Every structure is written in structure tokens, then in C-alpha cells.
């Protein structure tokens, strides 16, 4: 039986209320200034609402959201982020991993997870611990957190040796199960070397790639770059693993120079078990050239 998995990212949920002066310290001050100067005009909640409404009509068995619910990590954003996830679906139907904007300053990530923790709960009930494992149909979702607080004008991420070792052990165990599940890894930052520019990259992307080379996965989902993208990582036995990024789900039609790959959209994966593993097909849905939400066609996972 085919399982449908939806993937969206980087909604940057707004509106962003006016923070108190006491909250505008360090990175938040520059982030708020950037929001007022231009970032707020790149994201639109009407666009996000249309994308989410379309997504909910696609009959997905599960939804993966790969981070950046917040903008500058204000406490007022945590309830807004939870409302957004609730609009996607109940915690058992939606899996979330955080992004760099969710960990904007020290304490931001902890505050967000206190509000949105059920969307990170693993099958054993542990909340806000990474990696986590959620089994849905033939799919095993492995959620990782690359979200760390950074200095102003830096948006990098890091997994750390402890999380990487735990993820490797988990993926290895899943690979050896009888009738093994389709292993889908969720992370915010592009996890392959060269996946983002300096200052925005996953610091231990090389270690992640080496880990995938040892134990493999069937699909890796990420956000962060606000663009539809495909890379491939070498896996065991000569196989390669598709690494797929999606645009911001709230990007305005004319944001980023109106490049089609950057318009607000999401991906729907159809995952079908077979004798030789899993067949995975993908389609992209989102804003077309007219600004309407539509089917944007197949997304080729075999390229590259």
C-alpha cells in the first residue's frame, strides 16, 4: 500500500508583534531590524494559509515540518507556532524538527519546545529529545535537531557527536529489522557538504555524510535555503540517498526574484514498498506563475 508523506518548511509564522525593549538584546536587535527592513515583505500569511489548505486536501498520511516556525525567537512566537502546527494537524499526524530561527537566542529553543513538544514526541512518549523515532505505516521518521543559538549574522547549525552517534545507531537498527521500514531523516539545515554558504551551513555536514555512507537512509528532508533542491549522498553498497530541500511555505510570489524554485510550495511523496525496497515518487504543489496554489508537476528524485 502506498503511503503519502507531505513535507513543508520555513513558514516563518507571523505577524511578528512589537517586542519589548528589554527583549531586543544581542541577535534579536539585528534580527528585528532585518525583519522591519525587508524580511517581513518576503513572507505572507495569506500565502501560507493557502498552501496549508491545499496540503490538507491531499490526503497525506503524515506531514513533516523541518523548522523555522519562529522569526527572532520571541516568547510571543511560541504560542503562534503551536497554533500553526495545530492547523496542520494533531501531534500524531505531524512531525516537527526545529531550525536556526527557532533557537535564535539562548532559551528560545527550550521555550518553543515547551509549547510544541508533542509534535516531537517519539513512539515511547519522550518529548523534545533528538533524535526521535516515529513509525507511521511503512515509514520510520527520524527527527534531528541542528538548531543552535549563534552570533548575529550567523545562521549555522550543528548536530554534535552525541546526536550523530545516536542517529547512526537508530538508522542501523532500523535497517536490520525484518521487513525494514522506509527510513526518512528530518533535519533543518542542508546536511550535505556544500549545502549552504559559509555562516549558514551545518558545521558537521561531513560527519553526517560519513554516517549516511555507513548506515544509509531512504530519504533526507530539509529546509533552510528557501529553495526546491535535490542533492545525493553516497550510501552503503553503492546506493545513493536523495537529500531534498523545499522553499519557504510562506514565500511571496515575487520574493527572491520570483524564481520558480523559490516560490512557496511543498512536496508530496508517495512511498510504495516493493520486493527490492521502496519506490518513492514526489510531486511539488504550491504557487504557480499566477500566484495560485496548483500542481507544479513531478519532482525527479533520480536526478544528479
pLDDT beyond 70 at 26: no
What the block records as the C-alpha cell of 40 is: 517581513
CATH code for the domain of 206: 3.60.21.10
Does 88 fall in a domain?
yes
Let me know: does 226 contact 10? Beta carbons within 8 Å: yes
What the block records as the C-alpha cell of 138 is: 511503512
Q: What φ, ψ does residue 272 adopt, rounded to 5°?
A: -120, 120
pLDDT at 176: 94
Query: Which range is least confidently modeled, 73-77, 82-86, 291-295?
Result: 73-77
Let me know: does 211 contact 120? Beta carbons within 8 Å: no
B/e letters for 12-27, b = 16+ CB within 10 Å, e = fewer, are bbbebeebeeebbeeb
Let me know: does 13 contact 275? Beta carbons within 8 Å: no
Nearest one of 35, 28, 30 to 12, comparing CA atoms: 35
Question: How many structural domains is the chain composed of?
Answer: 1
pLDDT digits (tens, 9 = 90+) for 215-240: 999 999 999 999 999 999 999 999 99
The β-bridge partners of 133 are 142
Does 76 fall in a domain?
yes
pTM over 0.85: yes
Which domain does 132 fall in, by range? 3-15+27-298
pLDDT at 32: 54
Does 261 fall in a domain?
yes
Does 20 fall in a domain?
no
pLDDT digits (tens, 9 = 90+) for 258-272: 588 999 999 999 999
Confidence of residue 277 (pLDDT cuts 50, 70, 90): confident
Does 303 fall in a domain?
no
pLDDT digits (tens, 9 = 90+) for 197-207: 999 999 999 99
Does 21 fall in a domain?
no
pLDDT beyond 80 at 304: no
Does 304 fall in a domain?
no
Amino acid at each position: 500500500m502506498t503511503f503519502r508523506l507531505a513535507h513543508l518548511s520555513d513558514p516563518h509564522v507571523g505577524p511578528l508583534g512589537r517586542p519589548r525593549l528589554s527583549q531586543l538584546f544581542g541577535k534579536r536587535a539585528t534580527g528585528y531590524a532585518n525583519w522591519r527592513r525587508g524580511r517581513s515583505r518576503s513572507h505572507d500569511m495569506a500565502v501560507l494559509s493557502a498552501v496549508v489548505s491545499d496540503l490538507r486536501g491531499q490526503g497525506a498520511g503524515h506531514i513533516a515540518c523541518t523548522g523555522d516556525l519562529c522569526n527572532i525567537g520571541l516568547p510571543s512566537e511560541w504560542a503562534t507556532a503551536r497554533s500553526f502546527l495545530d492547523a496542520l494537524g494533531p501531534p500524531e499526524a505531524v512531525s516537527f524538527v526545529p531550525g536556526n530561527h527557532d533557537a535564535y537566542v539562548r532559551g528560545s529553543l527550550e521555550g518553543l519546545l515547551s509549547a510544541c513538544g508533542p509534535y516531537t514526541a517519539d513512539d515511547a512518549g519522550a518529548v523534545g529529545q533528538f533524535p526521535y523515532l516515529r513509525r507511521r505505516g511503512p515509514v520510520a521518521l527520524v527527527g534531528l535537531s541542528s538548531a543552535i543559538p549563534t552570533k548575529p549574522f550567523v545562521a549555522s547549525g550543528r548536530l554534535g557527536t552525541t546526536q550523530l552517534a545516536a542517529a547512526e545507531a537508530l538508522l542501523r537498527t532500523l535497517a536490520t529489522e525484518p521487513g525494514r521500514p522506509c527510513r526518512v531523516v528530518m533535519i533543518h539545515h542542508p546536511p550535505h557538504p556544500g549545502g549552504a554558504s559559509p555562516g549558514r551551513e551545518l558545521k558537521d555536514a561531513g560527519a553526517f555524510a560519513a554516517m549516511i555512507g555507513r548506515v544509509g537512509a531512504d530519504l533526507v528532508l530539509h529546509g533552510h535555503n528557501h529553495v526546491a533542491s535535490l542533492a545525493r549522498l553516497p550510501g552503503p553498497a553503492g546506493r545513493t540517498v536523495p537529500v531534498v530541500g523545499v522553499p519557504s511555505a510562506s514565500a511571496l510570489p515575487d520574493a527572491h526574484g520570483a524564481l520558480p524554485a523559490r516560490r512557496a510550495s511543498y512536496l508530496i511523496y508517495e512511498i510504495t514498498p516493493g520486493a527490492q525496497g521502496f519506490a518513492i515518487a514526489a510531486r511539488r504543489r504550491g504557487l504557480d506563475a499566477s500566484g495560485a496554489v496548483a500542481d507544479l508537476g513531478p519532482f525527479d528524485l533520480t536526478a544528479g
